[in-house]
Structure 1
Amino acid sequence: MCCVYGPRETERKDETDMKCGRLTTDMRFAPFSCPERGSWIQGSQDKDLSLMLHESLQPALCLHKYPRSQIEVNVMVLENSGSVLAHAVTCASLALADAGIEMYDLVLGCSIRQDGASYVVDPSYEEENSCSSASGENQGGLSVAFLPSLNQISGLQSDGEMAEETLTAGVRTCIEGCYKLYPVIQQALAKAVRRAAPPPSES
């Protein structure tokens, strides 16, 4: 579930801040979203993901179009089925575009899970937390936020121990996944615009 609030005016006295808007992001997990029941209180993982979500979305927003304003993105994960950061980036970007916020490009997320010599694209929760390789090498995950039209990476998050060539190949794979997802997202956004548009007037 993703909500976008804004733009709304803020009271800030610093003239440099008043010339462009500000993006705030908040990402939380519902207590029942993971197999291990959590708390409603925002933990360190939630704060880290909120920061990564902010860093991924900010380069795509035309914040200079919204002076003295604040755009709020709130993500509540109701069911963590894996690749949660990549999915949150894509959903938040789509929600911003659907809300009419001016953007340079959509931001799409894709993630992989490396396990020894093999890797999985868009891993499930079980695949993210499983480890079948006996050695500790090439054990990790990677999430990429990508702007397809601009061909730019706006966010990258990795964990675990991965070789340099493995990490490079993983980034390429994530970018390819984003390019494959792009037309699907465009179609969904176009459908939403057509539904919201007023019917043509009969002359």
Structure 2
Amino acid sequence: MPLDHRRVRGPEESQPPELWAGVPAQQEEDEDGAAPRDPYALRPLFARAGLLSQAEGSAYVELSGGTKVLCAAWGPREAAEPGAPAGGGRLLCEFRRAPFAGRGARCRPGSAAEREAEREAAAALREALEPAVRLARYPRARLTVSALLLQDGGSALAAAISGAALALADAGVEMYDLAVGCALCRAPGPDGAWLLQPGEAEERRAASRLTLALLPALNQVSAVLGSGEGGPPDAWAQAVRLGLDGCHRLYPVLRNSLLRAARRRGAGTDTATGTA
């Protein structure tokens, strides 16, 4: 009997291995809401630039708790039609979720809900990155950046903003500054506090969410994206201040990652040319 090699012989639903792993007692208390964490505490962030050889610039960003984002950048490339008026370049952003990114049952690939969520995330990514890129230096050119969410452990859009900015800088694109993303969420209830870099369980229970993008060297906010239940203006102002502080604290990690990638690239060039 002939075999159908085009068929994916896999289960309709899949679960991540973490469901069968032992969960620390502290993590169980946090998910149940019995032990609220410090709202000013940042989740440890790991960033590395220059990982992909197929892209002109790339970056990998991982947050403690499971969020993993891989970003790649290409360009500048010719995009304008002959005879079109000269102008600034275009920044094209793409955001995709891996089928195994979330917990629980796998979403059907190509569904309308999944495509709409990815389009909204790509639009938010472009809104956050455009003020950081010197598009006027690339007339009639196109810059492309793609973010692939490998695992969603919370604060995924903020991690994608930081990773995409790092990938553009690694590609040699002229930028005013790195765009640093920081996410917040507010617990339900009238006295709910804002939390920096929420995890997946905290975002699921949140009444409001806020994602902030900052250019720290210029002290300029490039994007503020909020959703959820409304609240007093003072509460949102406090969230913005808290997010700005988080971006300033994350900035050295991304900058050092870019410097390390530049040193590795320089060392590889010196080895190839035979210089000391």
TM-score (norm. length: structure 1): 0.90
Work out the CA distance in 2 between the residues paired with 1:165 and 1:37.
39
* Amino acid across the alignment from 1:199: D
Partner SS for 1:33: coil
Work out the CA distance in 1 between the residues paired with 2:72 and 2:166.
11
* Amino acid across the alignment from 2:264: R
Task: After TM superposition, list the pairs within 5 Å mapping 1:190-201 onto structure 2.
Answer: 190-197=259-266, 198-199=269-270, 201=275
Structure 2 equivalent of residue 136 of structure 1: none
Partner SS for 1:173: helix
2:121 counterpart of 1:49: yes
* Amino acid across the alignment from 1:50: A
Task: After TM superposition, list the pairs within 5 Å mapping 1:134-173 onto structure 2.
Answer: 139-161=207-229, 162-173=231-242
Deviation at 1:14, TM superposition (A): 6.4
Contact 1:29 1:40 in 2 (8 A): no
Work out the CA distance in 2 between the residues paired with 1:83 and 1:95.
18
Greater mean alpha carbon deviation, residues 33-42 or residues 149-158: 33-42
Cα shift readout 1:46-90 (whole Å, capped 9, x = no counterpart): 111110100100011011111221001111111111101100000
List runs of 5+ in structure 2 lacking aligned partners: 1-69
Partner SS for 1:43: helix
Partner SS for 1:19: coil
Q: Of the candidates 114, 127, 131, which is equivalent to residue 202 of structure 2?
A: 127
Cα shift readout 1:86-139 (whole Å, capped 9, x = no counterpart): 0000000000001110000100000111013222210111110025xxxxxxx2
Identity of aligned residues (%): 36
Structure 2 equivalent of residue 67 of structure 1: 139
Structure 2 equivalent of residue 95 of structure 1: 167
Cα shift readout 1:14-35 (whole Å, capped 9, x = no counterpart): 644x332110001111121112
Cα RMSD over matched residues? Answer: 1.6
Q: Of the candidates 105, 112, 120, which is equivalent to residue 177 of structure 2?
A: 105
List runs of 5+ in structure 1 lacking aligned partners: 132-138
Higher CA-based Rg = 2
Structure 1 equivalent of residue 158 of structure 2: 86
Greater mean alpha carbon deviation, residues 113-122 or residues 48-57: 113-122
Identify if the C-alpha distance between structure 1 residues 66 and 39 changes in structure 2 by more than 3 Å, giving closer, same or farther: farther
Moved over 6 A (4+): none
TM-score (norm. length: structure 2): 0.67
Identify if the C-alpha distance between structure 1 residues 31 and 14 changes in structure 2 by more than 3 Å, giving closer, same or farther: farther
